[in-house]
């Protein structure tokens, strides 16, 4: 079918034991395996490059919940994006303001605790997709709102932050966090 559709330069097919196969160059995995097999493969999938997409026909991966599931005509397909590893403590400065973030991670789900100069911020959104992280925060003490968007690269996050003051004035600034 790849030849007939002229996509042989974009895809390849191999017949191998999936547990032994080198998947390091894979960017998309399409699977039709029972959940028990998917669960056994999940640790191997989590070692793939962040952003690698996994699509499974009908079967999930146990505790690793899909990012999205779609059902049409009684057929369910599940979709995951391999998350980057972000667990731990991060810090950064914006002007003279110091921020600290503690991240607890389970697969692509993250729970963050963030402080601004020791004031606990309210986290209204925290999304990890592959190497991309987005955070929406507010400071209940000074009314500032923050929209962080960045890309994780090892022990560094690079991106931007939109800072909105209580009077509605917004400023876009670079964001660099270190672990």
User: pLDDT tens digit string along 108-118?
Assistant: 999 999 999 99
pLDDT at 7: 86
Structure tokens at 79: 């979709």
5 has pLDDT over 90: no
Q: Which of 171, 117, 123, 128 minimizes the C-alpha distance to 150? A: 128
pLDDT digits (tens, 9 = 90+) for 72-117: 999 999 999 999 999 999 999 998 999 999 999 999 999 999 999 9
Do 133 and 152 meet the contact criterion of CB atoms below 8 Å apart? yes
What's the rounded Cα separation, in Å, for the pair 110 and 12?
34
**Of all residues in the chain, what percent carry a pLDDT higher than 70?**
100
What's the rounded Cα separation, in Å, for the pair 136 and 124?
5
Structure tokens at 133: 């992280």
pLDDT digits (tens, 9 = 90+) for 18-68: 889 999 889 999 889 999 999 999 999 999 999 999 999 999 999 999 999
Neighbours of 44 (CB within 10 A): 13
């Amino acid at each position: 079918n790849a030849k007939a559709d002229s996509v042989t330069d974009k895809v390849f097919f191999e017949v191998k034991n999936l547990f032994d196969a080198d998947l390091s160059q894979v960017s998309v995995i399409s699977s039709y395996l029972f959940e028990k097999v998917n669960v056994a493969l999940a640790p191997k999938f989590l070692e793939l490059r962040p952003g690698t997409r996994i699509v499974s026909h009908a079967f999930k991966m146990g505790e690793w919940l899909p990012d999205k599931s779609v059902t049409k005509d009684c057929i369910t397909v599940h979709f995951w994006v391999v998350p980057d590893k972000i667990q731990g403590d991060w810090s950064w400065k914006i002007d003279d303001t110091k921020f600290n973030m503690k991240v607890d991670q389970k697969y692509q789900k993250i729970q963050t605790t963030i402080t601004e100069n020791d004031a606990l911020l309210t986290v209204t959104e925290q999304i990890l997709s592959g190497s991309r992280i987005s955070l929406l925060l507010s400071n209940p003490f000074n009314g500032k709102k923050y929209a962080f968007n960045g890309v994780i690269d090892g022990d560094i996050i690079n991106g931007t932050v939109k800072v909105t003051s209580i009077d509605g004035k917004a400023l876009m600034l670079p964001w660099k966090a270190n672990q």
